[in-house]
């Protein structure tokens, strides 16, 4: 019995070291903020699934025929894409977006929301456009959503979800075991699933996307000083009981606006450089 107890203790120590090593090995760094994040899933695994799910969403929803708004979303999206790619090149990070296939679409819906799937697949709903008001307002949202993709928030949430729900660390293994749950985890990871999961991670991601998004919109030539006003308009949409979907997992509006103002000096350096 003593030998067995010693063996079990040694096994626990070995497993602990193995898990620690796996976590350390599976860490990635978020551009601009430098935050360490879990990366159990590779882009080569998650991007094909993301692209398939994006096309499925487009098939199941009606695209807007409002030419003005559609062109605005696509033009602002392209400008921020170019600025983002330039930032990544300037900082030697272009390999981090290898395989990205940018796409910007406007879905006909009263839902006040927008999202970005891993790999640069962005969707706006028409319900958010009046709150955006103009191209600069769209740029606030677009910069924020593109920042989610660059910071690999979907991949991070997917990694957390696989570990928590299936005890697996690769998409391929999860698809083999439970493809339905795997697809739902991906949708949840970008906030468009049937449940808004992992809220303890979401608020960190949203705050991070705010900061990064300011820089991307500034580099694209849009004044980041417009961001606090946009979020004031967004907060005003709440009926006092249930906030818009775009605010459902986000920091409190007052906290967000204060944080955005604190990040403006950093972002304005990029804005002045581009004008």
C-beta of residue 43 within 8 angstroms of C-beta of residue 99:
yes
DSSP 201: H
Q: Which of 20, 89, 49, 17 is nearest to 186 (CA)?
A: 49
Q: What percent of the chain is helix, strand and coil (3-state, nearest 5)?
A: 65, 10, 25
Question: How far apart are alpha carbons 21 and 144 in whole angstroms?
Answer: 33
Q: Is 210 a catalytic residue?
A: yes
Q: Is 145 a catalytic residue?
A: yes
Question: How far apart are alpha carbons 126 and 139 in whole angstroms?
Answer: 15
C-beta of residue 176 within 8 angstroms of C-beta of residue 208:
no
Q: Annotated catalytic residue: which of 103, 156, 208, 210?
A: 210
Burial class from Cβ neighbours inside 10 Å (0-12, 13-18, 19+) for residue 10 reads: exposed
Q: Which of 120, 110, 126, 30 is nearest to 77 (CA)?
A: 120
Q: How many CB atoms lie within 10 A of CB 249?
A: 18
- The number of CA neighbours under 13 Å toward the Cβ of 273 is 14
Question: How far apart are alpha carbons 169 and 159 in whole angstroms?
Answer: 7
Q: Annotated catalytic residue: which of 45, 145, 156, 208?
A: 145
Which residues have CB under 8 Å from 184's CB, separation 6+? 193, 194
Tell me which residues are annotated as active site. 145, 210
């Amino acid at each position: 019995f003593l030998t067995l107890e010693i063996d079990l203790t040694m096994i626990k120590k070995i497993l602990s070291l193995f898990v620690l090593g796996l976590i350390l090995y599976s860490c990635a760094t978020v551009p601009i903020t430098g935050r360490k994040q879990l990366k159990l899933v590779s882009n080569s695994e998650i991007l094909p699934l993301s692209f398939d799910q994006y096309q499925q969403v487009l098939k199941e929803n009606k695209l807007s025929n409002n030419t003005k708004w559609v062109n605005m979303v696509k033009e602002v999206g392209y400008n921020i894409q170019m600025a983002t790619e330039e930032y990544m090149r300037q900082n030697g990070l272009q390999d981090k977006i290898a395989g990205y296939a940018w796409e910007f679409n406007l879905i006909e819906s009263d839902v006040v929301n927008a999202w970005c799937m891993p790999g640069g697949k962005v969707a706006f709903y028409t319900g958010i456009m009046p709150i955006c008001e103009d191209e600069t307002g769209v740029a606030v949202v677009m910069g924020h959503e593109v920042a989610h993709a660059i910071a690999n928030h979907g991949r991070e949430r997917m990694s957390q979800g696989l570990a928590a729900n299936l005890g697996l660390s690769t998409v391929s293994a999860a698809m083999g075991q439970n493809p339905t749950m795997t697809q739902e985890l991906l949708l949840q990871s970008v906030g468009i699933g049937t449940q808004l999961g992992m809220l303890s991670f979401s608020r960190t991601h949203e705050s991070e996307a705010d900061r990064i998004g300011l820089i991307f919109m500034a580099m694209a030539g849009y004044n980041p000083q417009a961001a606090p006003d946009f979020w004031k308009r967004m907060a005003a949409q709440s009926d006092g009981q249930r906030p818009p979907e775009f605010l459902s997992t986000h920091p409190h509006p007052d906290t967000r606006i204060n944080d955005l103002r604190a990040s403006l000096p950093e972002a304005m350096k990029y804005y002045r450089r581009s004008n």
